[in-house]
Structure 1
């Protein structure tokens, strides 16, 4: 019994039967959300969304006013146009910022718990290995979506409200674009998050995880470039996982222009299978390590 009746909040323990991963997710977000480094990286990551925001405002203002001083320039410069291809390039150019941010939030997601002996605490509660792993993966993916899909939604809303002929019915026209932006963001964020989580489950420290992930990405892309140069065939660039992700983004947004390969007969199914298999391998590695930790 406390000395003063209002000293402590009344608390009654409650057994969580559903969404136990939320405990892990919220704790993970709370930890890196207070970090100054995370805040700095996030601010750097929203520089391009801010530029795109002003691009949307300038484009709609110029297109609706023929006497606007920037109207001739915006009409002639194709990359200033606000269309589906703009959202593709926006998400694609966010890739470096997403990778750096995910390395910061995900490199220590599992290895830090192992180093600080937090696994005993997590698994002594009614949390299973899949609750733990789902919470970690969703937390890292959430950081990635915060720089890709969520800014895309804001840009679409800005495009909607700055058009003179906008109505509640024109919102339906944005649904395909929302779906495409979500798909491309997922193709970019999910494999990256799973790979970083897998590295964090294998390697003992955050620094080793960061170095290993960057080394694997560089080696993967370098190998694709070497094969393309030696065999004189740019189609070997599909071995590079980042290039495969960019190519899938092209297909999602129906961009027919060939940007990465020598010919246009690249199999979309093969590249999609390559991305899915890589993601499943990363997930399988994480499952093995976390289940091993739960068993002690």
Structure 2
């Protein structure tokens, strides 16, 4: 047989082999996706068989968050004080609680990341036509706090507005780092909460994170074992909780499950459930 014809036959055989491999890979991927969807639906069915309605349209994608170790940066506290108070000076030599006083008010920072800022009238005023949410977000960004709004409370009688934001770290929410901003009319009068700043490194993981379906089953088990009562799951969000108050601190991956009776956290690796105490 002539070489050109033989070469064409070999090339055709190689093409056929590649096509067969692609078909097998596609079939395997289709079976895997179907099995995953069936597993997710089975978890929802188990939940609803136990009297708990699953509100979201579908289970969220599995989380890939890994444990992190964060070394706190206390030098940023002086920058935050300067940003909010204008010219501010540190008072005293207490390393556990650092106090800054300036023309715009007073700021206190603790070693565990909590802080409180009281502002003098007129120290921080928003444009009248700007929303409190937008102005609060801009203020938090000025002090290096990347976050998302959780709640907004208004007291019509006093004109006071309280907004709660949770921090985000590497685009994931840190549920235990929250800041509450209090406005009186167009003036910001108080900030209080917990913030995280510094550098993070990946900590040793405890195997692979549990799937979202497994988390839902662990949630049901934890609810029953703890004697908690709920009738509906309103949402599931993957994020972090702080572990420890010293330096460095750990960011533990968790799922926050919001229900009609409160919120719960399920460890993304161990499946242990704890109620939200805030």
**The two structures share one fold, judged by TM-score above 0.5:** no
Considering fraction of residues, name the structure with more strand: 2
Structure 1 length as normaliser, TM-score? 0.23
Considering fraction of residues, name the structure with more helix: 1
